[in-house]
Amino acid sequence: MKLPVFEDVKRATGRIHGFAVPTPLLSPPVLNELTGATVYLKPENLQRTGSFKFRGAYNALSLLDDEARAAGIVAVSSGNHGQGIAEAARLLGIHATVIMPFDAPAMKIERVRRSGAAVELYDRVTGDRETLARELVERTGATFIHPFNHPDVIAGQGTVGLEIARDLQAREETPDHVFVCTGGGGLTAGVALSVLEVFVKVRVHTCEPEGFDDYRRSLESGRIEQNLRRDGSVCDAIITPSPGEISFEMNRNRLAEGMVVTDREAMDAVAFAFCELKLVLEPGGAVGLAALLKSGKQFSGETIVVVLSGGNIDPELMLKALGGQK
How confident is the model over 248-258, as a mean pLDDT? 96
What span, in angstroms and rounded, lies between the C-alpha atoms of 235 and 106?
Answer: 15
Express each pLDDT in 52-92 by its tens digit.
999 999 999 999 999 999 999 999 998 899 999 999 999 99
pLDDT for 72? 97
pLDDT-derived band at 326, boundaries 50, 70, 90:
low
DSSP-derived secondary structure for 202-239: -EEEEEEETT--HHHHHHHHTS----S-S---S-GGG-
Give the model confidence (pLDDT) of 187-218 as tens digits.
Answer: 999 999 999 999 999 999 999 999 999 999 99
Measure the CA–CA gap between 87 and 62, rounded to whole angstroms: 12
Task: Give the dihedral of Cα atoms 309, 326, 127, 3; nearest 10 deg.
Answer: 20
Average pLDDT, stretch 91-107?
93
Q: Is the pLDDT of residue 130 over 90?
A: no
**How would residue 223 be classed by pLDDT, with cut points 50, 70 and 90?**
very high
- Residue ranges of domains in the chain, CATH in brackets: 6-51+151-322 (3.40.50.1100), 54-144 (3.40.50.1100)
pLDDT score, position 124: 79
Q: What is the pLDDT of residue 46?
A: 98
Of the candidates 318, 38, 61, the residue with the CA atom closest to the CA atom of residue 174: 38
Other CB atoms closer than 10 Å to residue 46's CB: what's the count?
16
* CB 37 within 8 Å of CB 300: yes
pLDDT tens digits, residue range 268-283?
999 999 999 999 999 9
Q: How high is the mean pLDDT of the chain? A: 96
Give the separation between CA 44 and CA 192, rounded to whole angstroms. Answer: 16
What's CA 257's distance to the chain center, in Å? Answer: 18
Coarse DSSP helix, strand, coil percentages of the chain, rounded to the nearest 5 percent: 50, 15, 35
Give me the mean pLDDT over the 147-152 stretch: 96
pLDDT value, residue 231: 83
Res 150: pLDDT? 97
Please, which residues have CB within 8 angstroms of residue 1's CB and are 6 or more apart in sequence? 245, 246, 249
The one-letter amino acid code at 19 reads: F
pLDDT at 147: 94
Looking at residue 228, its pLDDT comes to 86
- Give percent of the chain with pLDDT exceeding 70: 100
Residue 52's closest CA among 22, 75, 73, 15?
A: 22
Per-position DSSP letters for 10-45, written without gaps between them: HHHHHHHTTTS-----B--HHHHHHHSSEEEEEEGG
pLDDT at residue number 157: 98
pLDDT band per the 50, 70, 90 thresholds, residue 34:
very high
State the Cα–Cα distance between residues 187 and 184, nearest whole angstrom.
8
Q: Check if the beta carbon of residue 311 is closer than 8 Å to that of residue 280.
A: yes
pLDDT at residue 20 in the model: 98
Q: Is-above-0.75 flag for pTM?
A: yes
